[in-house]
Amino acid sequence: MHPFEFIIAFFSFIYALALTHLLLSITAIIRHRRIVVFSLPQALWMLAALVSLIANWISLWDFHKLQTITLGTIFIGFVLSVIQYLVCALVSPELRDGSDLKAYNAQQGRAYIGAFAALVICSLFANVIAGSSLGIQNWARQNTLVLSMVPVVFLPLFIRKPWLDAVCAFTMSALGVLFLLVYYQVLK
């Protein structure tokens, strides 16, 4: 078994659990739509988490050509996977917490936006390391786009306005889609 296959299998479990949180929450919201108080910012942050999850998982493809993977590289990948999981788990409301998604966003928004901020900051460092020491130049170039995510995740942490939450969440989703279009239209 190639090192990439071995490691990606492990990380895929973490990504699958993160996706499960999002899908279960979306399913519950749809199922109980008549009693759920909808929140556009909350829905957009959930979309941003989904796009981020897809983009980060696909970006792991860049490691498939490495013949060896160091413990340090595995650790950084594990940390990024866990933070991605936290983003998805924290942004996904459980209806037992109440059916008011506006209240959920107001109460839990800082937690999941903070997780997004941690993911973006860790991604910046991981991209530098992958580009400089592992020779994965695609990751080094990605920091141009990842840097634009910094204000998008830090603004709503300090300015708690629903309209700003919605704009930043939408922007985060759009940047994630742009990331996929620029760097991963085709896997080689």
Share of the chain above pLDDT 70, in %: 98
Residue 136 pLDDT more than 90? Answer: no
- Smallest CA-to-CA distance from 155 within 143, 168, 144 is with 168
At 155, the pLDDT band (50, 70, 90 cuts) reads very high
What's the angle, vertex CA 75, arms to CA 67 and CA 149, rounded to 5? 100
User: Is the pTM here over 0.75, yes or no?
Assistant: yes
Sign of the CA dihedral running 117, 122, 123, 124 = positive
Distance (Å, rounded) from C-alpha 168 to C-alpha 160? 11
For every residue of 18-81, DSSP letters joined together read HHHHHHHHHHHHHHTTTT-B--HHHHHHHHHHHHHHHHHHHHGGGGTT-S---HHHHHHHHHHH
Domain limits, the chain: 3-183
Q: What is the pLDDT of residues 70-104, one digit of tens each?
A: 899 999 999 999 999 999 999 999 886 568 999 99
